[in-house]
Every structure is written in C-alpha cells, then in structure tokens.
Structure 1
Amino acid sequence: MSLTRRHFLASGAAIAGATALHPFSANAQAGQAHLRLMETTDLHVHVFPYDYYADRPVDDFGLARTAARIAEVRAEATNSLLLDNGDLIQGNPMGDYMAYEKGLEGGNAHPIIAAMNMLEYDAATLGNHEFNYGLDYLMDALDDAAFPVVSANVAHVPLGASPVEDDTLVPPYTVLDRQIIDGAGQMHPIRVGIIGFVPPQIMTWDKRHLEGRVQTRDIVEAARAWVPRLRAEGVDLVVALSHSGIEAPYEQGMENASLYVAEVDGIDVVMTGHEHRLFPGESYEGIEGVDAARGTLMGKPAVMANFWGSHMGLIDLALERDGESWRVTGFEVENRPIMERVDGDKVPLVESVPAVLDAARPEHEETLEYVRRSVGTTSAPLFSYFALVADDPSVQIVSQAQIWYIDQMMQDTVNAGVPILSAAAPFKSGGRGGPDYYTDVPAGDVAIRNVADLYLYPNTVQAVKLTGADVREWLERSAGMFNRIEPGATDAPLLNPDFPSYNFDVMDGVSYVIDLSQPSRYDSEGNLVDETAHRIVDLTYQGQPIDPDQPFIVATNNYRAGGGGSFPGIRDGSVIFVGPDTNRDVIVRYIVEQGTINPSADANWSFASMPGTSVTFETGPKARDYVDLVQGAAPEYVETTPEGFALFRLTL
C-alpha cells in the first residue's frame, strides 16, 4: 500500500507557534531529530464515549476522546507515528451488533477501522479478541484498514520447520518509509520496522474458529526468528507491537511475554497491552528487568496505555544521524489520560473529536436500537456490587440459564440423568474497570443491553464431566480470590488484587463454605502452591457431603473448558458437549421462554464464621442501594475512597 508522510511530519512550522514543542524537538540540532511514537491499545470497539450497557454517555473512555490527545501530541513533535496494539473489533455491543446483525458485506466498514482510518494510523497488530468472531469476519474487517496490520506468530497450517517459513495469517512485519525533519529543518529518510505478536493461547480461547486453519508460535521464538529478517531490510528502528502483558519468569508459550520480547536483539522499542493496565506503573514494580518508574523493559523504552482509549501511550525518542542511519540517544515514556478524578468525580480533560464520532455514527445509532430491545422481565434487580463476597443475582441468572440449556442438551444421551452443575463468574465487578463497572439492572423489562451487561464476552456454552473431587478442586482454585485472613483481624483487606474476577467461578447446584483462615491452595495463575491447604469446607450435594467419585456435568464456557484460567479437573476428554450457541444467546432464550425470571440468589456459598474478625472490600457507590438484598451476608458501608469506590466492612 502507499504510505504517506502527511501526518508523520507533524508540521512543526504550521503548529509550533500555537503549541510548545517537546524539548527533544525544540533542542534538536542538525543531524538530530525527535520521533514521537503514540500507542492506543485494547480499544475494544469503543469509538464513542458511551456505555452501551448503562445506555449513557461517559467521560473516561472512547477513541473520539483519545483523538483529541492524538492531535495535541502530534502538534508537540516534529515527527510522529500512531500505532495500535490490538483488540479492536470485539468488546462492546457495537462489536456484537456488527458481527451478528449488520455484518461487513456490501461495503460496510467496521466502525473502529473507519475511525482509525480517519485518524491516519500508521500500523497495528492483532489482539487475541480479534479472533472471537472467526477468521473470515476478521479478514473482512481488515480489508478496509488503510494501514498495515501485522502479526508474526499466527500462521496458516501446516507450520514451517521454523517461524520464518510460516505462511503467516497477516504480514509478520511492515517497514514504514518516511522522511524525518531534523533540528535544522532538513529532511532525511528513515525506515521504521513494525512487528507484532499475539498470545498463542488464542488456539485455546477460540479453538472452534481456529483449529485446523491456523496455528501459533511462542512469541519470543517468533521474535528471534523474524527480527533479523526485519533488520536485514535496512531499518533504522524496530518497534514491537506486543499484544501481551509483562510477567516473569519466562515460560515456553507464555501469554504475557513482553519483557522477553524486549530482550530480543534488534528490537528498540516495545509497545505492550492485553493486561488493561498502565506501564510505567506501580503494578509492575519488583519484576526483575522492569523499571516501572522510568518505563523500560530490559533497559528498552516500553509503554502500555491501559484500555478503551482511556490513555494515549507515548514514547519520545531522541535520534541522532549516524552516517546514513539513525540511532536512539535518549527517550521518555508517559501515558496521557483523557480524564482525571477530582474528589472522586470524573472530570474530562478533552472533548470528543467530531470527525471521529461521525466515522461511526450510523453504527452507534443502530447499536442503540439493538441493545434497547426488550426480551422479558425480571422480578428482582440484577446487580453485581456484592458478587465477590456473597451469592449474587447477576451470576445466579447466568447459572440458571446454563443449567436449563445443558439439561436439554443431555436428554437422550449417555449422560442423561448425570447431575448438572453450573460454573459462572462475575465479569463486571469494579477493579481496574473503575467504580461504575458493575451490572445494575432494575426489576422490570430486560433488554439485550442488559444481557450483554450480564455476560460481556461472546463465549459459547460447553459442558465438562468431572468428579466430586474435581468440583472441590475447581472451587479451591476460585477461592484464590481472597486474601488469607487471620482470626481476630480488624478490617483486613479481603480481595486479592492480582486475582481477576472472571476466574472467580461460583458453582451452582452444590453448597459450600469458604474458610478464609486457610491459605490458598492455588495461586492466581492456577498453580498448586499448598497441598495441605483446604479453604472449601462443608461441600454438599443435595444436603449430603459430596462423593469424591460421583460424576457431575458442569455447564461452563469454551474459555474455561478449553483450559482458560488453568482450572483443575480440565483434562483430555473432559469436554462432553460443545454448543453452537453463545452464553449470551442462551441467556436471552432462557429469559424469552420464562417470560419473567426470578434471579434471587440462593446463598449456596458463604464464608466460614470467624468470631471477632472483620474484612473490608471495595465496590461501586450504588451498592448502598442494595445492601438489604444481599443473601447470606450483612455488608456495612464505611466510606467512599478517593478513587470513587465505596468501602464496605463484612463481619465474619
């Protein structure tokens, strides 16, 4: 494709008078130049600053707001590139509407791609959620991109003997030929290589779409193979778009490998994502090879710009001419937010760019109609404010629908009559999503937007066959959600911040108690760390202690059944049913058939009594409206935190 330099040259002459240049631009001399690299990551279709689940505008996300930062950032530098780190086409109801309703036929460009074209992105890579709707849909979406999309570790099958022999799904890398302005106003050529990577776990997470069509390589293995090829093309600089987080130590096939991507010779800059966090940032302190304050991985500049366009990631490079090429002589890393909190309130720092809104406006309006369709009613409110501390109606309704569906699927099969349980986790439970990131559906009509709010992901229903012993271990894995609590402690923090809520499975169909005085049997990654620890006590089925040898069918989703979350009991042969229906579609069908649903939680799990002991946890401020509806617990409001969360106390 033809690559222009129109936006690469941020027009220091035209704009510098209105905006102060970055010191790297202002202080550059002849043969010296400033190159600004901008990152968005994990946009997940969020073009508009609009929460489709709550059906209201917001101030804390949306590419239309980030676009204001892009214009500002370009004006501060004489040279810039705009790059995206993946997870573009899935993640909110607009993504589902495009995939399941409107489609991409007849010249319909995907709205996130249309918006990025308008902003003149220079390149992007694939994220794991790009594969959620299948390869054909993905490739149709990419056909409309006016920028190259790269990924070096996803290839058509069969794989070659080495990564460089693979027939990759998209190009492994691209070379951007540009003209760069130095401090004396002279133009020079520069060649920037862009290479991309995605977690190899897509083969598990989207097996139904990918098996037999593509295969993945280890991220670091692919980088070591392809970067020398890229360097051989005479590039001055290699930027790795690593849709992968930051973890240690290295393991073959690891999901979050960006630290070790940075270690590969020939890579100069790493842009990361996938984990929905900020880097530089304190959450990465203490990892060897990581400077969480300066923003380096293995000494190389790196950035992660959170998610949904909430931040613009920036890496400023000071370059110096070295013969006919350029070398990096200095750098700075930052993340620039679109919103700040003042006394717990969200205060926007920028306004939406109208042209970006216009690029997706038809699909936005159509999505609003899509999510407002009523499918039934609920006799009680559906909320997730207390989903991590008590049995919860938003999880309960998911389990009811899953059991209803799998019961039908098991009729007239060899597994007819085997007890059916359901595993479901709260997806919207605050945390990194913020104090408004909770399900909140009032009693009354239930619309599609409410179902999407209950179940965020386009997973499909699957069923696994386990033993009673497996069920116990599954719950032990889930119980890693909680910190160990010393008996007699006062207001001890309850929730483990490193444990994602989507791995906190509640098992319906059995009853159990969680003893917080015990250490966790599994760590946050699912590794067995204490064979003597047992938090799950009083585990019963139909009022009797569970038989460790009794078979059970557990309704779940393709992510969990495929090994996502590393839950014990999932092994070869465990999966006995692979459904064609998404979990969300099943919930909709269940509500339609029932007409009116009763989502009241049955309090089938609780914490063990610990006299004289209290714990605290954060939830959304609206939780105070639902305290009286919590089953099996009596949370007590304490205060509102500076971040806008409501702090509650639970007396055990």
Structure 2
Amino acid sequence: MNGNVIITILETSDVHGNVLPINYGNNEHSELGLAKIATLINKERKENQSMILIDNGDLLQGTPLTYHYIHSRSSEMNPMIKLLNELQYDAAVLGNHEFNYGMDILNQAVRDSHFPWLSANIIDSKTGEPYFGKPYDIKVMDQGVKVAILGVTTHYIPNWENPNNIKGLGFEDALETTKMWVRKIREIEKPDVLVVAYHGGFESDLETGEPTETLTGENQGYRICKEIEGIDVLLTGHQHRSLASAVNGIAIVQPSFNGQAIGKISIRLSNEQGSWIIAEKKAELLQVEDVKTDEKCKKLVEEYEKQTQIWLDKPMGKLIGDMTISDPFKARLQDNSLVEFINKVQMDVANVSISNTALFNNLSKGFPENITMRDIVSNYIYPNTLKVIRITGQDMKEALERCASYFILNNGEIGVNPAFTTPKPQHYNYDMWEGIEYTLDITKSVGSRVTKLNVKGEAVDLGKEYDVVMNNYRAGGGGDYMMFKDKPVIKDIPLDMSEVIANYILEKGTIEATVNHNWKVVW
C-alpha cells in the first residue's frame, strides 16, 4: 500500500440550463456553459485517476434551451441529463429550481439519469423516507480509499415553489438532517473522506461569523461547518457566489453560476499504520474563460438548440412607442413602460386591478418595435406562474416598505442597498406596483418611507382587504415578503408568465408603450 493517495472532487452548481457559450438575448458569445466545463472535466479526468464529479443543483431550469425542451413536450431525453450522463457524473443533488416544472418532468429526469440523485432531507410525506432514493452514496477509490457523499437541499423551497409542484413532499431542516446523517455515516460506513453536497449557501461571513442576511434557514452553510463534526468537504451553491476556502477546517467551494466555473477540491491522504489520514486539502475554482467548447457536448444538444433558435425568432407582435431599458437603476426610481406593461398583462389575465412585478436583473433591455419570443424570455427570465392573493392595506404598506429598503442614501446620493447586491444580486426582490398610487421617500428612515399610498385617489384603508396579482415566488413570501405568506389564494394561474405575455401580445397584434406615473421614488 503506497503512502499517499490524491482524491479530486469536482463540483458544478447552478448551471441553470446553460450548455453553449451564448447569450440567448442576442446570440452573442458568452464565457459560460456546460460545454466549456466539459473540456475542464475531461482534462481533470485525464490527470487524476481518482476523481469524483458531482452536480449540486439548479441544473434543469434557466435558459430558453431548457424552457423550450419542457414546453415542446419532447419525447427526447432532457438535454441536461443527456450531458451529465455523457460526462459520467457520479451523483447529483436537487436544487430549488429543479421543482419549477413539476414532479412529472423531475421524476423523468431522475429516471433517465445514469447516476444517483442524493436527497437526504426531501422526504416522501407518506413514508418519511428520502423521496428521490439515496440520502448518500459511497465511492471506493484508488487503494480502497472510501469516500461518502451526502446530498442535502435548502429546506426553504416551500416558501417559493408552487404547491402543486411539490405535492407529497416534505422538506426537513437541512442542518439537522445533515447532523443526523453525518453521525450515521461515520458510525456505519466509517469513510476515509466525508463530503456534504448542499444546495444552499452561507448565511454568515466566513471569517467573522457575522450574519450576512436574515436568518430564515434558507442558507445554513456556516452553521453546518461550525456545528457538525465529521465533515471534510462542503460543496455549496444556490447563492451564485465564487468561493474556494476553508471554514472550521472544512474545505468549501461554490462555483459561481451559469457554468462560469467548476469547483475543485484536492485531498491528499497518507497511510498511517493501516489507516488513511487526510494530510492536506486544497479548494480552488477553475474558470471557463478562454476554454474551448467540447465538440461532443455541442453535438449532443445540436437538434435541441436548432429548435430553440427557431422558436426564439418567432414573431409575436409589434410595439408602438418606447419600451426599452437603457438604465436599470433609473427604471427602478420612476415608473417605466416595460414594468407597467408586465403589470397590465398580469392584471388582464387575473382580472384584478392591482399588480406588482420586478425588473429581475440588470440585463433586461426591454422590447424592440418587432417583438419575438427571444425578447420575451430575455426580459421575463423565470418560469413563474401567477397568483391572486387577498391582502390588507397594512400588508400592502409593509410590502412597499420592504421595496423602499432597496435604496440607500450616501451623502445625498441615492444607491442600491448592499443587502440587495451582496453576497448575491437580488434586484428581483424590489417590486413596482400598478393599480395604486404611491411615493417612497428615501430621506426617511427604513420602515417609514411610504409617504403616499392611495387607491383610486383615496388613501388606502389599512384594515381593508385588496386582491393583488403577483408571481408565485412573491405570493409565497419569497424575498422576505412574509406579509404575503399564507394569505388566501383567490385565483391560481398555472400558465408560465412568458407564455402569458406571448399570448397577450399575439392576441393584441400591436401593443403600446404607456407610462402613467402612478409611483415615484424621492430623495
């Protein structure tokens, strides 16, 4: 038995359906995608005889490629599963976005996989057993080195997901489940290396331990490192951060998002009196920038991609006026035609008079004169559905105060509160409303910034109830809008929002850009 063994663990996470290095908004080249990562994987496999390859969730959703595959009802295998099978992944973990298209799509993806999906804390409500099969897997590597891989997922999913998409599932606390299984694995399996693959991130600063977000339980990576004994490696994701470090002696990585990097942990074990001891651990990120695209992966998705591009170029209708976004920050300071249009579409399909929505990121360009499906999916990037919920005037005011906390003043200059940008950009948690008139005064203290709130010219009655349409993420309290959680659902509109917008434009033929200036931000 030799004195040393090197184990290499590679992690992808939050790939979000990105395969080819393109931006679907304009088809321009972009330094990302699984086809580039494949080149890195193949290189590492040649150089390392003991390698484990894991996907850490949010794989199946996120691009027009995956969206079109789901909605074309193709009998072909999911392109993302086809790629992971080809690349010989050893295991995968479920991300929160895996549930966006419902259980039929997800179960089929799991069935078609040549690797196990590890899911210790997502259980079958009837049996109490892990729903997707194995909580953990064991790999026996070079010279008999035993590696255990435990899979867990943020248990916060019921706060965001459409209840129909997670029927029959229970989501147990990720921290407590990890604690229990690590103890069991150590006792029963006695592995030389124990890896936890967690679709979740860090709730606290890695060095100081100071909380970096509201401690809801969505992210528990820091506590997992600090409170659970027996973990050697923690693979993370969900927050889209670039991390390669160590916390409390545990090697940690988080490989960004959209296939921009892959996480790599190198572990050197030495044999001491017949036992394998971890002598060294190194965490790093391998970037895909300037890496060639793997031609085999490109070929595997060629037909899917061709059909997607045809669909993206499909004309939807015409626009009169200007519905472009040149400055996303300015668009959040005063009413704009794109957000007003989306709110109008939501109110139309839901048949209510109050709506809210967000400008999800800073890449939205708005609509050109001739609108295609490409324009719609580039501006409405999530597979949200809509709900009408019944809220009080007080709930409305509290929600607007949460919106107002998006802004800060620095020497009289207005900017974005770092809580909405760090460690993860969360521009999607700032809503703009239609059907009410309101003013947010940023010179006031947080919690007292709503200085005007009217409906049809009259002050909103804080005790009165109002029906409001919003996306399912927000209606469930997502984004710390807890005032919306568990409110009566008056109407559920299960159609994907990009389809709702497309249908509206197709029906009208021509739409008009309007701005009624029903809200403003002052400072």
- Normalised by the length of structure 1, the TM-score is 0.74
Mapped pair 1:548 → 2:516: no
Residue in structure 1 matched with residue 333 of structure 2 by the alignment: 389
Show the 5 A alignment for 1:532-611. Answer: 534-608=448-522, 610=523
Residue in structure 2 matched with residue 512 of structure 1 by the alignment: 438
Residue in structure 2 matched with residue 455 of structure 1 by the alignment: 380
SS in 2 for 1:235: coil
AA in 2 matched with 1:510: I
Residue in structure 2 matched with residue 113 of structure 1 by the alignment: 81
**How many residue pairs end up in the alignment?**
506
AA in 2 matched with 1:373: K
Residue in structure 2 matched with residue 191 of structure 1 by the alignment: 146
Mapped pair 1:502 → 2:437: no
Runs of 5+ unmatched residues, structure 1: 1-28, 161-165, 181-187, 281-294, 340-348, 411-419, 430-436, 522-533, 611-652
Residue in structure 2 matched with residue 173 of structure 1 by the alignment: 136
Residue in structure 2 matched with residue 63 of structure 1 by the alignment: 34
TM-superposed deviation, 1:513: 1.9
Structure 2 residue aligned with 1:357, among 291, 295, 298?
298
Residue in structure 2 matched with residue 336 of structure 1 by the alignment: 286
Structure 2 residue aligned with 1:236, among 192, 196, 213?
192
Contact kept? 1:190, 1:325, Cα under 8 Å: no
Show the 5 A alignment for 1:28-427. Answer: 30-52=2-24, 54-103=25-74, 105=75, 108-158=76-126, 160=128, 166-178=129-141, 180=142, 188-231=143-186, 232-248=188-204, 254-262=217-225, 263-280=227-244, 295-339=245-289, 349-384=290-325, 385-386=327-328, 387-407=331-351, 420-427=353-360
AA in 2 matched with 1:475: L
Contact kept? 1:236, 1:327, Cα under 8 Å: yes
TM-superposed deviation, 1:155: 0.9
CA deviation string 1:192-251 (max 9, x = no partner): 111111111222322433454111100011112222332312321111110001004699
SS in 2 for 1:223: helix
CA deviation string 1:64-97 (max 9, x = no partner): 1122222333445453222111111111111111
AA in 2 matched with 1:501: H
Contact kept? 2:203, 2:215, Cα under 8 Å: no
AA in 2 matched with 1:157: S
Structure 1 residue aligned with 2:397, among 472, 477, 482?
472
Structure 2 CA distance for partners of 1:209 and 1:323, relative to 1, 3 Å = farther
Distance of 1:469 and 1:252 partners within structure 2: 24
Distance of 2:56 and 2:476 partners within structure 1: 25
Distance of 2:48 and 2:512 partners within structure 1: 58
Distance of 2:92 and 2:284 partners within structure 1: 20
TM-superposed deviation, 1:319: 1.3
TM-superposed deviation, 1:380: 3.1
CA deviation string 1:354-390 (max 9, x = no partner): 0111121111111111222122222234334333333
SS in 2 for 1:259: helix
TM-superposed deviation, 1:41: 0.6
AA in 1 matched with 2:89: Y
Distance of 2:105 and 2:65 partners within structure 1: 15
Please provide the CA RMSD for this pair. Answer: 2.2
Contact kept? 1:485, 1:517, Cα under 8 Å: no
Contact kept? 1:203, 1:210, Cα under 8 Å: no
AA in 2 matched with 1:234: K
Structure 2 CA distance for partners of 1:381 and 1:312, relative to 1, 3 Å = farther
Contact kept? 1:421, 1:507, Cα under 8 Å: yes
Distance of 2:134 and 2:310 partners within structure 1: 37
Contact kept? 1:470, 1:568, Cα under 8 Å: no
AA in 1 matched with 2:336: D
Contact kept? 2:346, 2:470, Cα under 8 Å: yes
Distance of 2:167 and 2:500 partners within structure 1: 27
Contact kept? 2:152, 2:198, Cα under 8 Å: yes
TM-superposed deviation, 1:323: 4.1
Contact kept? 1:374, 1:447, Cα under 8 Å: yes
SS in 2 for 1:581: coil
SS in 2 for 1:547: coil
Contact kept? 1:383, 1:392, Cα under 8 Å: no
TM-superposed deviation, 1:258: 1.6
Distance of 1:354 and 1:493 partners within structure 2: 47
Larger Cα-atom Rg: 1
Contact kept? 2:474, 2:481, Cα under 8 Å: yes
Contact kept? 1:462, 1:575, Cα under 8 Å: yes
Contact kept? 2:8, 2:267, Cα under 8 Å: yes
Distance of 1:172 and 1:453 partners within structure 2: 36
AA in 1 matched with 2:124: H
Residue in structure 2 matched with residue 185 of structure 1 by the alignment: none
Structure 2 CA distance for partners of 1:368 and 1:324, relative to 1, 3 Å = farther
Contact kept? 1:428, 1:439, Cα under 8 Å: no
SS in 2 for 1:48: coil
Contact kept? 2:332, 2:432, Cα under 8 Å: no
Runs of 5+ unmatched residues, structure 2: 205-210, 421-425
SS in 2 for 1:102: coil
- The structure whose RCO (Cα within 8 Å, separation 6+) is larger is 2
AA in 1 matched with 2:458: Q
SS in 2 for 1:569: helix
Distance of 1:568 and 1:167 partners within structure 2: 29
CA deviation string 1:615-634 (max 9, x = no partner): xxxxxxxxxxxxxxxxxxxx
- Normalised by the length of structure 2, the TM-score is 0.91
TM-superposed deviation, 1:504: 0.4
Distance of 1:505 and 1:371 partners within structure 2: 27
Distance of 1:334 and 1:568 partners within structure 2: 37
